[in-house]
């Protein structure tokens, strides 16, 4: 059993004991208690080939009944214009999130969607998408959070598949309903604002990793050009280290080697000796880094999906803003 699963179980038990009458999420307390009890803060990596598949492997498994392919792209209509044969389309802003509350999709709704895609408990799910697999990684995080054991990402995503001239289809597949049963969420994989605040205040051990661009991290800009989700403050969470998510991939969007990845993150103090919390603006880019650190390298990593749009808009929490940029300032 991977220690991450053990931590999740302990976290669930503690939260169950503390949740009555508690209005603030207690995940951070539970995870911290689990880490202190278990001591181990790293897990055995699956092995690169167990969580990442290349285009050749997937081409050979398009008709494998134990494999389900899911596209999660940012660009609207991309799936409809052509997708990998047999791929099911998941829309990130409706299928993976609650459209009324700012939260991830409920386990009941997610189970319904996964079963409609023909997913069983022992299915191998391969996710891919555009933008170097940003939201494919988000999908991998949600699938893993809800208990599917065999979740992988297509190395290089759509771009590499298309660059190699491989087959695309415009036909939406239909599968017999699957039997996947969503488990209670593995809370060791997710951080909430109180969890992050405890690290900032020195009440919990952990490394905060901001994977946004250096300009966002320094507070020179509030968000990348053209995005709608903003915070009224610029900068980063106090004590966070910065390693842009794109550093983890090669020019063609494929993941760098395990050795390169370990060295890359060790250069900013992320080496698996402490639990890590990753964040970005709304959680999507950070999910890519979560996948690298957690699933490829085997570190204990939680995704703070509230990210900067929550932290930067929250009254009473501190920030660091090296550029001194002020909302509405001249």
Q: Which residues are part of the catalytic machinery? A: 280
321 exposure class (CB count in 10 Å sphere: 0-12, 13-18, 19+):
middle
Please list the residues that pair with 152 across neighbouring strands: 126
Give me the DSSP letters along 146-201.
TT-S-EEEETTHHHHHHHTT---B-PPP--------PPSP-GGGEE-HHHHHHHHT
Element (H, E) at 5: helix 3-18
- Core vs surface per residue 132-166: b (16+ CB within 10 A) or e: bbbbbbbbbbbbbbbbbebbbbbbbbbbbbeeeee
Q: Which tokens sit at 240?
A: 């966070």
**Rounded Cα gap, residues 323 and 310, in angstroms:** 20
Other C-beta atoms closer than 10 Å to the C-beta of 221 total: 15
Euclidean distance between CA atoms 170 and 186, whole angstroms: 35
Residue 271 to residue 297: CA distance in whole angstroms: 9
Two tokens at 193? 């604002």
Q: Are strands 103-104 and 124-128 parallel, antiparallel or unpaired?
A: unpaired
């Amino acid at each position: 059993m991977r220690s991450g699963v053990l931590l999740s179980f302990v976290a669930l038990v503690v939260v169950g004991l503390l949740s009555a009458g508690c209005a603030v999420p207690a995940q951070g307390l539970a995870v911290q208690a689990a880490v202190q009890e278990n001591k181990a803060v790293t897990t055995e990596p699956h092995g690169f080939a167990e969580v990442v598949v290349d285009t050749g492997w997937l081409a050979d498994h398009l008709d494998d009944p134990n494999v389900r392919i899911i596209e999660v792209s940012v660009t609207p209509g991309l799936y409809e214009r052509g997708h990998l044969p047999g791929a099911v389309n998941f829309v990130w802003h409706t299928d993976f999130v609650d459209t009324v509350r700012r939260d991830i999709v409920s386990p009941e709704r997610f189970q319904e969607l996964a079963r409609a895609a023909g997913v069983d408990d022992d299915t191998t799910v391969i996710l891919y998408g555009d933008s170097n697999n940003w939201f494919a990684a988000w999908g991998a995080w949600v699938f893993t959070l809800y208990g599917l054991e065999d979740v992988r990402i297509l190395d290089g995503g759509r771009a590499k598949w298309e660059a190699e001239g491989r087959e695309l289809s415009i036909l939406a597949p239909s599968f017999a309903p699957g039997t996947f049963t969503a488990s209670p969420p593995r809370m060791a994989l997710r951080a909430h604002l109180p969890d992050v605040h405890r690290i900032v205040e020195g009440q919990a051990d952990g490394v905060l990793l901001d994977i946004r661009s250096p300009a966002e991290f320094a507070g020179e800009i509030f968000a990348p050009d053209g995005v709608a989700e903003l915070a009224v403050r610029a900068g980063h969470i106090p004590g966070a280290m910065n390693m842009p998510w794109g550093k983890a991939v090669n020019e063609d969007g494929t993941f760098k080697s395990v050795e390169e990845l370990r060295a890359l993150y060790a250069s900013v103090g992320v080496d698996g000796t402490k639990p890590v919390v990753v964040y970005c603006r709304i959680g999507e880019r950070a999910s890519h880094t979560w996948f690298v650190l957690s699933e490829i390298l085997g570190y204990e990593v939680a995704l703070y999906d509230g990210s900067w749009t929550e932290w930067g808009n929250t009254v009473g929490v501190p920030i660091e803003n090296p550029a001194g940029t002020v909302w509405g300032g001249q």
